[in-house]
Amino acid sequence: MKTLIKGLAFGAFMTLSTTAMAAECIAPANPGGGWDFTCRQIGKILYDIKAVDQPVQVTNMAGAGGGLAFATVVNERNDDPDLIIAASSATTTRLAQNAYGGNTADQVRFVGAIGADPGVIVVAKDSPFQSLKEMVDAIKADPGSVAFAGGSAAGGFDHMKPLQVLKSDGFTDIRSIKYISVDGGADAITQTIGGFTQAMTGDMSEVVSFLKNGDIRVLAVLTDERVPGFDDIPTAKEQGYDVVAVNWRGLYVPKGISDARFEEWGAKLKMVAESAEWKEAMTANGLAPFTKVGGDFQSWIDGVIADTVELSKEIGVIQ
């Protein structure tokens, strides 16, 4: 009986201590920008919909492109059950390319993504390419004939998008593809509109204003389904290229937390994804629905990282 009472008392203590502690979200960057948005919006909605009983504290921890926060979690807070950390496609790309000082993706657990900025392949309005297939066929016939402009560095997420499309069609001479790195998506579109490059690779949020002005055509959106509000833009998948490349917005958690806590964070994140408040936030910030949580998301992340490692080796970013 004493053992039972002690067990019940311990269980009650654990429940109380878990709910009494306020959750914290680390944004691995300064205020403003995607990771800060993720923490502040998800944190606010978690409290608004009563998924947590206290406001979520947001801690900005800039440094090493997310590497400082990652190392802090791994080395100092590996078993903190109340900690969530903002992440995106940039997180997994940098991990795949060993940009976090030897830290690896399997040192944390990726709990979920609940929105995404869809990847796009764009040409100028007067481009001869009317479809993604026409562009791919032209590149396969003459790899140097099409140069892509993008806002990430060589080997970054924008660079990877057209390479993934080409690989899905059996193209193997990846290093022959021309990629021009510029300072952001707007500059990349300007390069393409001006005829300095034949295409732009970036995210939907970067091209909306140019699309509305009639300056460009989007040959493909790199999502599972067409993006609401842009229903006339076909996906790469429906054109025969099995590629999904989205700049997802989501969270990871310390690896040392329990499986139950991991699943609990996944359930809470799903509650946010299904809320009216999050749908409003997505609309206001140009995000498309993209919900993967728990083990399903972790498995997807593992595949993304493996693909990124393979591509990165092929183009010489890593050995």
Confidence band, pLDDT 50/70/90 cuts, at residue 22 = confident
User: Which residue, 235, 219, 233, is CA-closest to 137?
Assistant: 219
Question: In this structure, what DSSP letter does residue 218 have?
Answer: E
Domains identified in the chain and CATH numbers? 2-116+246-314 (3.40.190.150), 119-239 (3.40.190.10)
Question: In this structure, what DSSP letter does residue 288 have?
Answer: B
Confidence band, pLDDT 50/70/90 cuts, at residue 288 = confident
d(CA 304, CA 68): 22
Residues 6+ apart with CB under 8 A from 284: none
d(CA 186, CA 211): 12
Residue 1 has pLDDT above 80, yes or no: no
Tell me what the mean pLDDT of segment 273-301 comes to.
Answer: 91
Tell me what the mean pLDDT of segment 142-169 comes to.
Answer: 94
The position carrying tokens 């083990």 is 295
Tell me what the mean pLDDT of segment 46-50 comes to.
Answer: 97
Average pLDDT in the chain: 91
pLDDT digits (tens, 9 = 90+) for 66-119: 999 999 999 999 999 999 999 999 999 999 999 999 999 999 999 999 999 999
d(CA 166, CA 154): 17
Tokens (6 digits) for 121: 């392949």
Confidence band, pLDDT 50/70/90 cuts, at residue 21 = low
Position with higher pLDDT, 62 vs 205: 62
0.85 cut: is pTM over it? no
The position carrying tokens 């833009």 is 233
Residues 6+ apart with CB under 8 A from 280: none
d(CA 194, CA 159): 20
